[in-house]
Amino acid sequence: MSENRHGMLIVLSGPSGSGKGTIIKSLLAERDDTVLSVSMTTRAPRPGELDGIHYHFVTREKFEQTIAEDGFLEYAEYNGNYYGTPEAPIRRWLNEGKNVILEIEVQGAEKVMDHRSDLVSIFITIPSVEELERRLRGRGTETDEVIRGRMETARYELTRAFRYQYVVLNDEVDLAIDRINTIIDAESMRYSRMENTILEVLKYVSTQ
Ligand code: ADP
Ligand code: 5GP
């Protein structure tokens, strides 16, 4: 791969419980060219979640201060909490040639789509609503009331899937990861992303 390759910004959305976290964890273990943006949120950590690794867990005051300082690429309110993507680290990673995954919900994703044409967007879907509920209950991290809210939100999110370039079915984790690897590899070979490689060769040819 060319040294001066710019990384790709990859937005990955899908209903809560569709398996985004599971897929991304394995994907990052396989790919050293790809990193995950750590979002800021006002929701409470789930058991086992670590500050600075899974999210930057902050108060509403701190979140609103970051909005005022224009520190987010995007942010949204989801089920009563704020979630946002800090902008500075993303710019740094892309310049270093790393692909950056934003694991964000659809309102935030649509905001990014509206002002970045170089984006790769992927929607993760599930085989059925029943399977989604089974996964949410199986994860055991939310109350019945929160699960009901997430199922409602899932219905809305599925109606926005058409805004994404790719839809990946997470029926089996390994298959879903293969599908995403295929997308990332193909997207990185688009002419616009390979142009510098061509120009370097041309430069060499013209000095012969
Ligand atoms: P999300 O990050 O989208 O909210 P998670 O990655 O936390 O979803 O997955 C929700 C639950 O479903 C977890 O308990 C996870 O182990 C399980 N899960 C994920 N993918 C699959 C799959 N393909 N088949 C069965 N269970 C899955
Ligand atoms: P959870 O509470 O399950 O971790 O996340 C809830 C939803 O918020 C998920 O759909 C997740 O993708 C989304 N999310 C996480 N971080 C961000 C963010 O920075 N911005 C936006 N818009 N959504 C986010």
DSSP 143: -
At 106-143, the pLDDT tens digits run 999 999 999 898 999 999 999 999 999 999 999 888 88
Indicate which atom in ligand 2 lies nearest the CA of residue 43. Answer: 2
Mean pLDDT of the chain: 93
What Å distances lie between residue 163 and 104, 121, 122, 170, CA to CA? 14, 8, 9, 18
Q: 120 C-alpha to center of ligand 2: Å?
A: 17
As a whole number of angstroms, the distance between CA 60 and CA 50 comes to 18
As a whole number of angstroms, the distance between CA 95 and CA 174 comes to 30
Res 156: pLDDT: 94
Res 4: pLDDT: 57
Tokens of 93: 């990673």
Binning pLDDT at 50, 70 and 90, where does residue 1 land? very low
At 71-82, the pLDDT tens digits run 999 999 988 899
At 151-164, the pLDDT tens digits run 999 999 999 999 99
Of all protein residues, the one whose alpha carbon is nearest to atom 5 of ligand 2 is: 16
SS3 10: strand
Amino acid at 175: L
- Among 40-49, 88-97, 197-206, which is the least confidently predicted range? 197-206
What is the mean predicted confidence (pLDDT) over 171-197? 96
Tokens of 76: 């949204």
Q: 59 C-alpha to center of ligand 1: Å?
A: 28
Q: 126 C-alpha to center of ligand 1: Å?
A: 10
Indicate which atom in ligand 2 lies nearest the CA of residue 20. Answer: 12
Judge whether residue 3 has pLDDT over 80: no
78 lines ligand 2 (CB under 6 A): yes
The pTM of the full predicted model, rounded to 2 decimals, is 0.93
Pocket residues: Cβ below 6 A from ligand 1: 14, 16-22, 135, 138-139, 170-173
Query: What residue ranges define each of the domains in the chain, with the CATH number in brackets?
Result: 9-37+98-206 (3.40.50.300)
The tally of CA atoms less than 13 A away on the side-chain side of residue 29 is 8
Rounded to a whole number of angstroms, the distance between the first and last alpha carbons of the chain is 23
